[in-house]
Structure formats: structure tokens, C-alpha cells
A and B are shown apart, each in its own frame.
Chain A
Amino acid sequence: MAKRSNEPLLWALFSGGGVAAAFLLPVLIFLYGLAFPLGWLQPPDHERTLELVQHPLTRLVLFLLCFLSLFHWAHRFRFTLYDGLQIKHLNPAINLFCYGGAVTGTVAAAYLLWTLP
């Protein structure tokens, strides 16, 4: 049996994040980045947003979105740095930056969603 590698796990997270981001990010960025700030559409106010986010299902979806999207980024960006800049020798630093960032973001998302009033 060959050396056990964790690439399959990282790839599964990358793929899951690719799906989550593809389905949800275009519409979310369109609304929060363009349509609401530019006044094309009326954004939900604080009370309404809170009510939406408090729903357990929304919390779960948002958590998964953050978690998977971040690991999607970590995986892709790691390879982009390897290939695009040919800095493979900086491997440990790149891995720390990418996956460390993803873990930090995921923990932050879990904390924020969990402790929401």
C-alpha cells in the first residue's frame, strides 16, 4: 500500500466548494455588491436579515458556504502559486497561508453563526 495521502480529502473539499460557490456566489455578490448598494433593489433591513439568518437551515447553508468556499480557494490558489509563479520551494509557507487562512475563516464563520443572538 502506498503512502496515505490526504489529497483526496482536499480535493473533495475543493470540489464541494466549487459547487457551493458556483451556485450561490454570483447571485449573492450581484445583490450585496451591486444591486443593493446601487439602489436597484431594496435590501432587507437588520431585523429581517437577522430573522432570516437565525433560521437553522440558513445558518447551516452559510456555514457550509464559508467552509467549502474557503477550502476551494485554498486548493486552487495553492496550485496557482505553484504553477503561475514557479515557487514550489516555498511550499510550507504557501500551505500554511492557504490552509491556515481557510481554517481561520471557517472557525470565524462557525463562531459568528453559532453565537448570533
Chain B
Amino acid sequence: MAETITIEVARYRPEEEGEPALQSYEVPLNKDWVVLDALNHIKDHVDGSLSFRWSCRMGVCGSCGMTVNGEPKLTCATFLSHYAPGPIRVEPLKNFPVVRDLVIEMTDFLEKLQSVKPWIVRKDDPAPAKGEFLQTPEQLDEFKQFSMCINCMICYAACPVYGLDPQFVGPAAIALAQRYNLDSRDQGEQERLDVLSQHEGIWGCTFVGECTEVCPKNVDPAGAIQQYKLAATKDWFKSFLMPWSKQ
């Protein structure tokens, strides 16, 4: 028989149990299997009641984030063999309420994301009749890194500040705000700053830096937040010294 590995999955069925509990499964240790494959194997062949989110299986949809052996991971990009001989512990993402098994509630994140207006804001809406806005490769390069975010919330799970203070806007939302601020076509910087200059915005961040460490897409939210602080501070001094410069 082929080799196997033990997976301990956190189960939480609110109608049955008050606290999440671990349940162990043996799954084949295929060397090209990721943790998500093992979960699908369990759901298809062992226990159909196991609940978890996934979609693309290739690291672009951002829905399969879970805690693997204590670390927040995209389970479709985390190989079983990496943890051999096991056991592997799979739990829902930290810092979010658990709805069921490995499924977390993310409305909070979605509302925060919306609050920073992660889209191009123009004063001259609707878009000018002249056609598209042109952008040079250099201008694209300014924000490209921050635009790689897939909203997987792995950075939120790694962020102790978000865990301690759920009001904190959090890494990905601030990185995305910065992504649009740095976009040469955007004019919404001031609107976003009004939201993010609150204590729960950028100032809540103490630069732990874990968000950047864990991000599967190399977005560097920690860097984005510090750059944002610097920009907000300059803005503050400017409006302090030259109050008339505010439009």
C-alpha cells in the first residue's frame, strides 16, 4: 500500500458542538498533492460533511486560506510532502469568526476593503470622451506589486494587531488603498486618507511585519502601510504649515 500521512482537521459543527475539535484522517501521501487535494480526498471518499472553501486550485482566487501547522497558508500551494511524515494540522484562518469547520466569516474584511475605495476615483467622472487613460510602464511599475493581492486574508490571519483590535483596517485593504493612490489615473488619495488617517487606519499598525512574510503574492502590505504613514505625515505637516494648500 502507498504511504499515507495523518491530517488533523479542525471540525466545528455549531448544531452539534460548542467548541471546535480536531478529527484525524489518513490520506495518501502523493508527492504532487497539496493540502487542498487531501481535503478534497476526505470530502469525496471519507467524510462528505467536511466544509471548506476553494475554487481555482492554482493560487489566484484567494479562497483556500487556512492555518496549516499554525501558519496561515494557501492550501492549494502547500504541499503535503513538505510536512512528511506528519501529522499535519489544518485549522481555519485565525482572527476570523468560524462559521463551520474550515469556513470563516469574512464580511468584516469585505466591508473594510470597500471603505478604502479600491477602485479608480476620478473627479471628472464619467470617463473623458477622449478615450482611455494612458499609462507608461514606469507608472504601472509604481503600483504593480500592490495590485497582485488576491484578497486571501492570509495577512489578516498573521496580523496580531487585527487579532487584538478588530477595528483595525488591516494589511490588504491598506495595501490596496496604496495601490490606487500610486496609480497615475487615480484622484482619490484624499478621500482614502480621510478613512485611513484614523487611529484604526494606518496608525494602528506597529510594523510587526508578519503580513509581508506570509503573503503568497509578495504584496508587501507592511511596506505599503509604512509608506502610507510617511505620506500622511507629510500631508499633515503641509496642511499644518500651509492650511490654504488644501483644496
- Contacting residues, chain A, for B187 (C-beta < 8 A): none
Q: Which of B55-63, B123-131, B213-221, B229-237 contacts A (4 or more CB under 8 A)?
A: B229-237
How far, in angstroms, from A88 to B161 measured CA to CA in the complex? 12
A7-B203, A86-B164 given; A2·B233 CB < 8 A: no
B43: Cβ under 8 A from any A Cβ: no
Number of interchain pairs (Cβ within 8 Å): 35
Partner of B236, one of A3, A8, A86: A8
A79: Cβ under 8 A from any B Cβ: yes
Task: Give chain B nearest CB distance to A17 CB in angstroms.
Answer: 14
B194: Cβ under 8 A from any A Cβ: yes
How far, in angstroms, from A8 to B232 measured CA to CA in the complex? 7
Q: In chain A between 1 and 55, which residues have their CB closer than 8 angstroms to a CB of chain B?
A: 1-3, 5, 7-9, 11-12
How far, in angstroms, from A5 to B204 measured CA to CA in the complex? 13
A11-B233, A83-B160, A86-B164 given; A5·B197 CB < 8 A: yes
* A11:B199 contact, CB within 8 angstroms: no
From B236, which residue of chain A is reached at the shortest CB distance? A8
Q: In chain A between 31 and 85, which residues have their CB closer than 8 angstroms to a CB of chain B?
A: 79, 82-83
Partner of B203, one of A2, A5, A83, A88: A5
Task: Give chain B nearest CB distance to A6 CB in angstroms.
Answer: 9
* B198:A5 contact, CB within 8 angstroms: yes
Contact with A along B158-201 (1 / 0, CB 8 A): 00110011000000000000000000000000000011011100
The residues of A with any CB-CB pair to B shorter than 8 Å are 1-3, 5, 7-9, 11-12, 79, 82-83, 86, 88
